[in-house]
Amino acid sequence: MLRIVCLAAAIVLGGTVAHAQSPTPTKEQWIELGTRIHGGFGVLIPIGIRIGLDAKERLKPEPRGLLVTYYTGAKAPCPCIADGIMLGAGVSPGQGSLLVSPDKAPAGLYAMVEVRNRKTGEGLRYSIAESMTPKIIEWNKSLDPSGRYDVIMQADGLFQAEPLPRSN
């Protein structure tokens, strides 16, 4: 239990698991962290984790080196994906590296996420199409937390990622 709490603290306080010199969390640890931080482990939490991990892999930030802006789409019930991104990318509202925008995602999107490397200015825009909504609802209803994690980590076409123009 202490290991999970320390792992959660390392992630939330800006150190990613790799930067905290701990092994990558197991599926069970991701589920525990997501449940502790969010209060449950619906399918939107692993979507955020997957986006956060993908952004870290592609943008290769230093510890505390990402800035994330999350935009909820009209069909999304809440910005739950942002809690998963917080875990996967090692960002948080408290350190000013995660912003849930009051602006909505463009029409046709379930959610949109912009991630930037603070140092290099490189960025990615992740888009989840509204067409994913029926699958998201079905996965949430039919799968337990372990199944939700598995289906999201293996789902093809879950999101699109495109480069953003480099910022200064």
Q: Give the count of beta carbons closer than 10 Å to the beta carbon of residue 87.
A: 28
b/e sequence 98-126, b meaning 16+ C-beta within 10 Å: bebeeeebeeebbbbbbbbbeeeebbbbb
pLDDT at 15 over 70: no
pTM over 0.85: yes
Domains of the chain: 2-164 (3.30.1330.130)
pLDDT band for 13, please (50, 70, 90 cuts): very low
Q: How confident is the model over 40-72, as pLDDT tens digits?
A: 999 999 999 999 999 999 999 999 999 999 999
Residue 88: DSSP 8-state: H
Calculate mean pLDDT across residues 13-17: 42
At 167, the pLDDT band (50, 70, 90 cuts) reads confident
Give the CA distances from residue 106 to residues 87, 135, 155, in Å, rounded to whole numbers and listed in that order: 25, 20, 23
Q: Evaluate if residue 1 carries a pLDDT over 80.
A: no
* pLDDT tens, position by position, 92-123: 999 999 999 999 999 999 999 999 999 999 99
